[in-house]
Amino acid sequence: MTALNRSQAAEAAEDDGSNGSDNPTLAAVVAARFNRRDLLRGTLAVGAISAVVGPRALAAAEPAANPFPFVELPAGSDERHHVAAGHDAEVLIRWGDPVLPGAPAFDPRRQTPEAQSKQFGYNNDFIGYFPMPGAADPAQHGLLAVNHEYTNEELMFPGLGRQDGKTAFAGMSRDLVDIEMAAHGGSVIEVRRVDGRWQVVPDSRYARRITATTPMEITGPAAGSERLRTKADPDGRRVHGMINNCAGGTTPWGTWLTCEENINYYFQGKLPEGHGEARNHKRLGIPGNLYAWGRFHDRFDLGAEPNEPNRFGWVVEIDPFDPNAVPKKRTAMGRFKHEGAAGIVAKDGRYVVFQGDDERFDYVYRFVTEAKVDTADRQANRDILDRGTLSVARFDADGRGTWLPLVFGQGPLTPENGFRDQADVLVETRRAADLVGATKMDRPEDVEANPKTGKVYVMLTNNVRRKADQVDAANPRPDNRFGHIVEITPDSGEHTAPGFAWEVLVRCGDPAIAAVGATFSSATTKDGWFGMPDNCAVDGLGRLWISTDGNSAGRTGRTDGIWAMETEGPGRGTGKHFFQVPTGAEMCGPYFTPDDTTFFVAVQHPGEADEEDPKAEPATFEKPATRWPDFDPNLPPRPAVVTITKRGGGRVGT
pLDDT band at 642 (very low <50, low <70, confident <90, very high): very high
Three-state DSSP class for residue 43: coil
User: Is the previous residue joined to 287 through a cis bond, with omega within 30 degrees of 0?
Assistant: yes
Residue boundaries of the structural domains of the chain: 6-646
pTM: 0.93
pLDDT band at 7 (very low <50, low <70, confident <90, very high): low
- The size of the chain, in residues, is 654
Average pLDDT (193-215) is 98
pLDDT of 2: 36
Give the span between the Cα atoms of 371 and 349, in whole angstroms.
8
Average pLDDT (532-554) is 96
pLDDT of 31: 61
pLDDT of 4: 43
Give the span between the Cα atoms of 246 and 357, in whole angstroms.
11
pLDDT band at 615 (very low <50, low <70, confident <90, very high): confident
Q: Are 534 and 588 in contact (CB under 8 A)?
A: yes
Give the span between the Cα atoms of 394 and 398, in whole angstroms.
12
Give the span between the Cα atoms of 7 and 329, in whole angstroms.
26
Give the span between the Cα atoms of 626 and 642, in whole angstroms.
17
Average pLDDT (334-342) is 97
pLDDT band at 135 (very low <50, low <70, confident <90, very high): very high
Q: For every residue of 284-305, which 3-state class applies, written as one string?
A: CCCCCCCCCHHHHCHHHECCCC
Instruction: For residue range 576-586, list pLDDT tens digits in order.
Output: 999 999 999 99
* DSSP at 357: B
The helix or strand, by DSSP H or E, that contains position 9, with its residue range, turns out to be helix 6-13
Instruction: For residue range 344-362, list pLDDT tens digits in order.
Output: 999 999 999 999 999 999 9
Q: What angle do CA 57, 63, 65 make, to 5 degrees?
A: 135
For residue 472, pLDDT beyond 80: no
pLDDT of 132: 98
Three-state DSSP class for residue 510: coil
Our CA dihedral for 496, 501, 502, 503, rounded to 10 degrees, sits at: -150
For residue 58, pLDDT beyond 70: no
**Mean pLDDT, all residues of the chain:** 91
For residue 3, pLDDT beyond 50: no
For residue 383, pLDDT beyond 90: yes
pLDDT of 12: 55
Q: Are 251 and 367 in contact (CB under 8 A)?
A: no
Backbone angles phi, psi at 586, to 5 degrees: -120, 145
pLDDT band at 52 (very low <50, low <70, confident <90, very high): very low
Q: Are 358 and 17 in contact (CB under 8 A)?
A: no
Instruction: For residue range 71-122, list pLDDT tens digits in order.
Output: 999 999 999 999 999 999 999 999 999 999 999 999 999 999 999 999 999 9
Beta-carbon count within 10 A of 206 CB: 17
pLDDT of 475: 33
Instruction: For residue range 274-320, list pLDDT tens digits in order.
Output: 999 999 999 999 999 999 999 999 999 999 999 999 999 999 999 99
Instruction: For residue range 385-436, list pLDDT tens digits in order.
Output: 999 999 999 998 899 999 999 999 999 999 999 999 999 999 999 999 999 9
The more confident residue out of 509 and 15 is 509
For residue 67, pLDDT beyond 60: yes
